[in-house]
Structure 1
Amino acid sequence: MVYVLLLLGFVLLIKGADWFVTGASDLAAFFNVSPMLVGLTIVAFGTGAPEATVSIIAALEGNPGVTIGNVIGSNIINIAGVVGITAIIFPLKAESQTVRKEIPFTVLSSVAILALVGDTSVDHEISNMLSRGDGIILLLFFAIFMYYVFELAMNNRDTQVPVAEKETETTHNWKKSTLYTGIGLGAVILGGYWVVESSTDIALYFGMSETLVGLTVVSIGSSLPEFVTSITAALKKYSDLALGNIVGSCIFNNLFVLGAASIIYPLNIENKIFLDVSFMILLSLVLLVFSRTKWVISKLEGFILMISYLSYLIYIIYRN
């Protein structure tokens, strides 16, 4: 039954991502919203739902290692693995607006996690914890980001063609696009959940430790929605949506998922997570630099990102 759920999960991920990208892109055109903004919000938060589900459940069960390991591991996979493979298949164009603000915000949110995890306690010792107060700070940062995104969306609409001037066929099809988006999102979330749960059971059956499962199988499995959605968007030549999906998912994971999880249950952090967070910050900076090279993440740059992730994967397997 576990293998059946794994197969069904992959089918739902692939087909759901196709419907989701198509519907979301059509809605963006109808409501005069750029694909990048759709990627940063609806698509990013939808594909980030598996990470949020796994991390919050882990927090409720008092397992902070799985919570923060899943978030950090998923972001590293998203930046290095997903962006890398997507760029190898189809070079990703980066809008200047994205490079100036959204990708730097990813770096900022990663630095905020490192600062909060490593802050000093009352007795001047490193606390190694994300407290409920830290969670509130992360959620406040997330609220600021959402305010910025919606302000950008409203300003963007003012510069577009009014909805009334669009083709009649597009106007009549907005309900169909909404249905496609909703069904696609549901399929992506359910498929991602099944893949994570079934692959974890299989890995534990074959003797992998829970820590290693969390850093590899769970984080890779929960990142599959971002991977499938970004690949689908790139093949449909929606580069902005593909890149926005990754950037938005990383910000969502760093600020909302960790913020909500640490409020539910303060997260004690192992010392080795500092290296993982530092590597995530480094990858965010590399992504910023690569996106500035002719405003395109090329096949070569995608290959470099992919090799970086494979090297990191080998390292954490050896470390554990």
Structure 2
Amino acid sequence: MLASLTAIVLGLAVLIWSADRFIYGAAALSRNLGVSPLLIGLTIVGFGTSAPELLVSAFAAAQGNPGLAIGNAVGSNIANIALILGITALVAPLAVGSRILRREMPLLLLVMVFAGVLLLDGHLGRLDGALLLLGLAVVLAWVIHDGLRGRKDPADPMEAEFDAEIPKEVPTRLALIWLVLGLLALLISARVLVWGAVNVAETLGVSDLIIGLTIIAIGTSLPELAASVVSARHGEPDIAIGNVIGSNMFNLLGVMAFPGLIYPAAVPGEVLTRDYPVMFGLTLLLLAMAFGLRGRMGRVGRPGGLLLVACFVGYLVWLGYSM
């Protein structure tokens, strides 16, 4: 038990560090290759923060633990909105000024409906996984197209925010070293984390799904927390929210695809009756805050942040009673 807990703690610590180094190397390399900061932010940074979830779910599915993999994807989305954005808004209120971001939010809702329809039959199979990956390709193409269009709009604040955050003047060789080192560390730490989590679940008699929804989901969402809080403190609220939106879309289309492709299995009933509705409801709440009222700029202030965190605590209590 002690070895398993140690594996979880060390695995999460290395996972967070390696995700940061992987994104740093990929972003710096892309900038050196002439990719615009806006496109780097919308793709590499926005989706790259989900690299931990992707690898953890892949290893969990390969080990025959699809419940942990599915719980990780759905639980991370719940944690991203309720916990990550909630804490970030408590640190610094988030005003939504980017038109690009306002176009991405309804897209996230569309992605949730699409993924939900595939899960409705209670089975996540290879065809479902393939359709989710196809959906991811379509979303990536749309985001890149929207990013190229957004570059022509100098009034959109996301361009300047990403330009300030994307690493500058990093030698290509150093960027490649961080990229490869970050990826290798991600692979090793994800494998160690899954091993520890499965052992703890078996020892305590807790389902893989619950472990995926709680310990793993919160742990793999920590890179989003770090990125969002730093962005908010730097006066870049659109990046803070954009990271969560990009990550949530990737979790549903990319991370969720791997259990279906690697280990087709039944979807736990609780996911459809409890967890997915909670995720959907929190997303609607975020959209209501972000779009504002009567045409005014949307804002996730401290009261909204407190409400989101309270929702997350309530959800954890619900999970506790469900065990």
TM bucket by the smaller chain?
Answer: 0.7 to 0.9
Q: How does 1:198-237 map to 2 (within 5 A)?
A: 198=196, 208-237=206-235
| Compared CA separation, residues 129 and 295, structure 1 to 2 (3 A) | same
Q: Counterpart of 2:54?
A: 52
**Structure 1 residue 5, shift from structure 2 partner:** 5.7
The residue that corresponds to 2:42 in the other structure is 40
| TM-superposition CA deviations, 1:175-228 (whole Å, max 9, x none) | 489469738955677667666655665676566554432221122122222222
- Counterparts of 1:205-284 in structure 2, within 5 Å, are 208-275=206-273, 276-284=275-283
> Which of 100, 116, 132 lines up with 2:126 in the alignment?
132
1:301 to 301, 304, 313: 304
Mapping of 1:101-140 within 5 angstroms? 101-118=103-120, 127-140=121-134
Q: Does the CA-based 8 Å contact 1:39-1:243 persist in structure 2? A: no
Structure 1 contact 136–263 (Cα < 8 Å) conserved: yes
Equivalent pair of 1:13/1:228 in contact (CA under 8 Å): no
Q: Which residue of 2 is the match for residue 71 of structure 1?
A: 73
The equivalent of 2:157 in structure 1 is none
One-letter code of the match for 1:128?
A: G
User: 1:23–1:181: 8 Å Cα contact kept in structure 2?
Assistant: yes
Letter in 1 for 2:71: G
The equivalent residue for 2:91 is: 89
Give 1:15 deviation, angstroms: 5.9
Does the 8 A contact of 2:101 with 2:238 survive in 1? no
What's the CA shift for 1:153?
A: 2.7
- Aligned residues: CA RMSD: 3.5
Could you tell me which runs of 5 or more consecutive residues in structure 2 were left unpaired when the two chains were aligned: 155-162
Contact 2:93 2:299 (8 Å CA) reproduced: yes
Unaligned runs of 5+ in 1: 119-126, 161-165
Conserved 8 A contact 1:47-1:226: yes
SS at match of 1:134: helix
From 164, 168, 179, the counterpart of 1:182 = 179
Partner-residue secondary structure (3-state), 1:272: helix
Change (3 A) 1:130 1:234: same
Question: 2: distance between equivalents of 1:117 and 1:28?
Answer: 36
The Cα of 1:128 is off from its aligned counterpart by 1.0
Q: Does 1:146 align with 2:149?
A: no
Q: Alpha-carbon deviations, 1:85-135, whole Å to 9, x = none?
A: 1111122232342443211111111112221211xxxxxxxx311222222
Tell me the equivalent position of 2:158.
none
Bigger mean CA offset, 43-52 vs 139-148: 43-52
Structure 1 residue 304, shift from structure 2 partner: 0.7
User: Which SS does the other structure have where 2:224 is aligned?
Assistant: helix
With over 3 angstroms needed to count, the CA separation of the structure-2 counterparts of 1:191 and 1:136, relative to structure 1, is closer
Distance 1:190 1:230 in 2: 25
Partner of 1:163: none
- The answer to whether the 8 A contact 1:74-1:220 is kept is yes
The one-letter code sitting in structure 1 at the alignment partner of 2:228 is S
Identity of aligned residues (%): 34
Compare 228-237 and 196-205 and name the one that shifted more. Answer: 196-205
Mapped to 1, the partners of 2:265 and 2:143 lie a distance apart of 29
Question: How far, CA to CA, are the matches of 1:287 and 1:204 in structure 2?
Answer: 36
- 1:246 deviates by 0.9
Letter in 2 for 1:281: F
* Corresponding position of 2:286: 287
Task: Check the 8 A contact 2:108/2:249 in 1, yes or no.
Answer: yes
Alignment-mate amino acid for residue 302 of structure 2:
K
